[in-house]
Amino acid sequence: MSLATGLYLDIVRRALDEDLAEAGDLTTEACIPADSRSVAEIVVRRPGVVAGLEVGASVFRTVDPEVAVELSAVDGERVEAGKVVGRVEGRSRSILTAERTALNLMGRMSGVATATAELVDAVAGTGAVITDTRKTMPGLRALDKYAVRMGGGRNHRFGLHDAVLIKDNHIVAAGSITDAVVAARARVGHMVKIEVEVETLEQLDELLTVGADVVLLDNMDPDTLGQAVEKVSGGMVTEASGTVTLETVRAIAESGVDVISTGWITHSPPQLDIGLDFVG
């Protein structure tokens, strides 16, 4: 699935504004002749899954529509260290001015994709789907969620606005799981899914009586997860969350849950090291 251009161009412009403010690129304008031209390669320095190549390319074009960027990889592609994923050609000043902003975006997005892919690999063959959460970088949610898809994951809801997820605090305030679900069903439209978080098998029993589209099994060990999956027995989609790491994710997946959601892939993924080398 693709990413709308308009959406990321605002992010690109904001990032460039941070870097250029009113005075612009002092160094480049002082030291580089206006007519100097260069060719540079975008190189991934560590193995990983790339994402945001087109976003990064748009930074160069935003700075200067006459800079040409030719990509030699596609978002979602696994690459080795040293892989040249793009070639940039045009005014040296423009390339230097855009460089850092472009690399910051590509490095971040590829970092998210790579972290996601590691978890996806770890659960290979189990049928479990890896999804993100709402623990994304403020202002970058669309890019983060896109990068998750490029890493082989799927997206959980995009925000508070597109699905119902009843968590512990909602249940307390509503009185009970049953009350909360009944209230939700009475008010939201027929196109909105309802998910309910449970922390114990007892809570799950209550939920099974009233029903929902998805159950979030929070912080359960693999054994308990297995029992929960058995209880649900296909009546709802099952989702596990809590303490999902590269070490724990396989066992969680083998419990039979449909979906595993994790905040780590968007709140703390190491960026993928991507650089720009001038080659001419």
Tell me whether residue 31 or residue 68 sits nearer to a second copy (CB atom).
Answer: 31
Residue 231 CB neighbour total at 10 angstroms: 16
| Shortest CB 189 distance to a second copy, Å | 4
| Shortest CB 264 distance to a second copy, Å | 9
Q: Is 33 exposed, middle or buried (0-12, 13-18, 19+ CB in 10 A)?
A: exposed
Write down the catalytic residue from 218, 231, 250, 254.
218
Residue 205 is a catalytic residue: no
Residue 167 is a catalytic residue: yes
| Shortest CB 95 distance to a second copy, Å | 8
DSSP label at residue 12 = H
| Shortest CB 220 distance to a second copy, Å | 18
Residue 231 is a catalytic residue: no
DSSP label at residue 5 = H
| Shortest CB 232 distance to a second copy, Å | 13
Q: Is 179 exposed, middle or buried (0-12, 13-18, 19+ CB in 10 A)?
A: middle
Closest residue by Cα to residue 94 from 67, 54, 130: 67
Residue 83 is a catalytic residue: no
The helix-helix angle for 177-187 and 201-210 (nearest 10°) equals 40
The helix-helix angle for 222-232 and 201-210 (nearest 10°) equals 20
251, 119 in Cβ contact below 8 A? no
Give the neighbor-by-neighbor strand order of the sheet with 84-91. Answer: 68-71, 84-91, 37-44, 274-278
Write down the catalytic residue from 13, 37, 78, 135.
135
3-state secondary structure labels for all residues of 197-258: EECCHHHHHHHHHHCCCEEEEECCCHHHHHHHHHHHCCCCEEEEECCCCCCCHHHHHHCCCC
Tell me whether residue 18 or residue 205 sits nearer to a second copy (CB atom).
Answer: 18
| Shortest CB 167 distance to a second copy, Å | 8
Write down the catalytic residue from 61, 78, 100, 185.
100
Residue 213 is a catalytic residue: no
Q: Which residues are catalytic?
A: 100, 135, 167, 197, 218
